[in-house]
Amino acid sequence: NTIPQIDFVQMRTQTPFVIVRAGQNTWIDSDFIFNWQAAKEARLYRGSYWFYDSRTDPKTQADLWLSAIGDDYPDCGLWMDFEETFGGAFGSEMYMRQFAERVLDNSPATVEVGVYTGYYYWLERIPASRRAWWGQFPLWIANYGAETPLIPQPFTDWLFWQFTNSGDGELYGVESPKIDLNYFNGDLEKF
């Protein structure tokens, strides 16, 4: 297990928040615990995301994510990342909803739970008749190269917008030359 090459103090000079990947499938990201603590020590507002994987039971994934967080809850929410295309047995909306319900039911009411996805992925994956339930969640939308992001139903607005996957990693203290960057839909007071 290597120590990650992320300088969260440098990152703090560029942004007030970071959303850290916790894991996927049946594994916790090997750098998660270090990154989670280092981001906190750098006084960054933290969020966490879990890359939902259709090859693994949704309840198992939710429980693993929540166990990784423990009682060190995020300031910027728990984000359910729905974008995978593995074609596993747990890929339908019914299973995605089981994952979401498990996360909601086992998180404190003070912790915001949200959806990360792309416009076309969401419309292709979630049947129109099943979308309304998802409207309770804030949206973190991925939409590159647009002046304003496309918003899939049932969402009416976005909270975070991932507008690029080619941000300057070095500027943000990250070992990767290119990183995802996001906008927050509001001012500092709302944030």
Per-residue pLDDT tens for 111-145? 999 999 999 999 999 999 999 999 999 999 999 99
Q: Is 90 exposed, middle or buried (0-12, 13-18, 19+ CB in 10 A)?
A: buried
Parallel, antiparallel or unpaired: strands 78-81 and 160-168: unpaired
Cα–Cα distance, 182 to 2 (Å, whole number)? 27
Q: Which tokens hold the place of 188?
A: 């500092």
> Quick check: helix, strand or coil at residue 95?
helix
Provide the CB-side half-sphere exposure for 10 (13 A, CA): 11
Per-residue pLDDT tens for 72-106? 999 999 999 999 999 999 999 999 999 999 999 99
For the chain, counts of helices (H) and of strands (E): 5, 8
Model's pTM, two decimal places?
A: 0.95
Per-residue pLDDT tens for 36-73? 999 999 999 999 999 999 999 999 999 999 999 999 99
Parallel, antiparallel or unpaired: strands 78-81 and 113-118: parallel
